[in-house]
Amino acid sequence: MEAAISDSEFGRFQALMQRVAGIHLPPSKKSLVSGRLSKRLRARGIGSYGDYYRLIASGGEPAEMQTAIDLLTTNETYFFREPQHFEFLVREVLPGLRPGVPFRVWSAASSTGEEAYSIAMVLMDKLGVSAPWEVFGSDINSSVIETARGATYPTSRNEGIPANYLRRFCLRGTGAMAGKLRVDAAVRERVRFAQINLNGDLKGAGEFDVIFLRNVMIYFDMETKRRVVAALHRRLRPGGWLFIGHSESLNGVSEQFRPVRPTIYRKEAA
């Protein structure tokens, strides 16, 4: 049986997550770190958290490092979370699009994909299948990206989906798939997922008209918030929109964006 995690061992994992992912683990997360990593210690036959830290920090086992990151990141999401953002997208953003011009939206902390598919359902409804639009979803956690690509969820998670969208864009499972729903292929085909660390190089993501960065900055310290928001500003096209979580703000974080509504910001047009 592995020993309990010490304060110094916890401090090493704090520093590791800050350095690798920009995520701050406060002292209150010590038991969470201990509980989530204990299964890896048992699986690897390692007797202490210090030895496990040395294993992943050595750089010799990148897959185990990713497993640790997956275990220590929080993933809470659901369909059409904070619905006022989707209403604003329909009412204020989409009417300004130019016909035939590609439109890209980034769900920048998409977790298991519900946010990205919510956006795609809106765009399929309002822009249609013939318009050139795409939704890109990303997360640092590799396991949730695989779930997102599968686009299959328990029916208990469908509460936020409008009834007409549920009917048009979701398939109810039968037989072995009973109790599950899957996002329709026409919607799935317009959504692409990739593993991306927001604390790293974002150039490969391309440029976007709208970025959803919701409920992730609460895990960053101020320096990381400023760095990430500045990088996302560069990924937005002139006149692009940034949506953040209802408990978040850009006050003191960035002056590059113009506030439009609480939690909704816009990059100035060129």
**Is pLDDT larger for residue 53 or for residue 20?**
53
User: Which pLDDT tens digit goes with each residue over 27-40?
Assistant: 888 998 998 899 89
| Cβ-based neighbours of 34, under 8 Å, separated by 6 or more | 4, 5, 10, 49
- Of residues 56 and 187, which shows the higher confidence score? 187
Cross-strand pairs, 103: 133
Task: Confirm whether 209 is a catalytic residue.
Answer: no
Does the global pTM surpass 0.85?
yes
pLDDT band at 159 (very low <50, low <70, confident <90, very high): confident
DSSP 184-231: -HHHHTTEEEEE--TTS--GGG--EEEEEE-S-GGGB-HHHHHHHHHH
161 Cβ neighbours under 8 A, 6+ residues apart: 79, 80, 118, 121, 170
* One-letter amino acid of 209: D
Residues with Cβ within 8 Å of 93's Cβ and at least 6 positions away in sequence, in order, are 209, 210, 241
pLDDT band at 237; cut points 50, 70, 90: very high
Name the band, by pLDDT with cuts 50, 70 and 90, for residue 58.
confident
Q: What is the average pLDDT across 166-192?
A: 93
Q: How large is the greatest C-alpha to C-alpha distance in the chain, in angstroms?
A: 63
* Catalytic residue status for 139: yes
Confidence label for 112 from pLDDT (cuts 50, 70 and 90): very high
Which of 220, 15, 24, 183 is CA-nearest to residue 109?
A: 220
Question: Where does the pLDDT of residue 153 fall: very low under 50, low under 70, confident under 90, or very high at 90 and above?
Answer: very high
Which one is catalytic: 36, 157, 182, 226? 36
Give the chain's domains with CATH numbers: 7-72 (1.10.155.10), 83-267 (3.40.50.150)
pLDDT at 77: 85
Contact 181, 150 (CB under 8 A): no
Question: Which of 40, 104, 139, 214 is the catalytic position?
Answer: 139
Cβ-in-10-Å burial (0-12, 13-18, 19+) of 254 comes to middle
Residue type, 218: I
- State the pLDDT at residue 127: 97
Higher pLDDT: 265 or 75? It is: 265
**Span 198-222, pLDDT tens digits:** 988 888 889 999 999 998 898 898 9
DSSP assignment of the chain equals -PPPPPHHHHHHHHHHHHHHH-B---GGGHHHHHHHHHHHHHHHT---HHHHHHHHHTSS-HHHHHHHHHHHS-----TT-SHHHHHHIIIIIGGGPPTTS-EEEEETT-TTSHHHHHHHHHHHHHT-SSS-EEEEEEES-HHHHHHHHHTEEEGGG-TTS-HHHHHHHEEE--GGGTTEEEE-HHHHTTEEEEE--TTS--GGG--EEEEEE-S-GGGB-HHHHHHHHHHHHHHEEEEEEEEE-TT---TTT-SSEEEEETTEEEEPP-
Average pLDDT rounded to a whole number, residues 63-86: 88
Phi, psi for 211 (deg, rounded to 5):
-125, 125
Please check the confidence at residue 2 and state whether its pLDDT lies above 60: no
pLDDT at 265 over 70: yes
Statement: residue 122 has pLDDT above 90 = yes
